[in-house]
Amino acid sequence: MSKLIDQGLAEYAFYFLTVFGGLLLRLREPSLLRPYRPIVLFPIVFCVASLFLVLRGLLFAPVQGAVLGALVMLGACWHFYKSRDLKQWRWRELSTEEREAPVGILAGE
């Protein structure tokens, strides 16, 4: 049972963050094209259920919860550190060349 709590805590914490991020994106960018757009009730119900599982796991496994919290905070700090130079061009319209240019690790950056 404790193994289920330990693994479930981390898994459902990341599931919650993923689905919650999708909900936020849906609210902030409603006109963005998506391959699949479920009824908004399903992600909300999933977020509530997974948040319940995460909070229950934190209650029964506080050490693992602290490690998970530290991991999430480390990831958030890394994200803000790496994206600080992207803020200068985030809100401007991209040119055609910029939209078609390959970006990322596979592009040789």
Separation between Cα atoms, residue 50 and residue 75, nearest integer Å? 20
pLDDT at 109: 47
pLDDT at 96: 63
Task: State the pTM of this model.
Answer: 0.62
Mean pLDDT of 22-31: 86
Helix boundaries (H) for 1-95: 2-28, 41-60, 62-83
Any idea of the CA torsion for 27, 40, 51, 76, to the nearest 10 degrees? -30
What is the per-residue pLDDT across 53-82, written as a single tens digit (0 to 9) for each? 888 888 888 888 888 889 889 988 888 887
Separation between Cα atoms, residue 75 and residue 96, nearest integer Å? 32
pLDDT at 13: 86
Q: Is the pLDDT of residue 4 over 60?
A: no
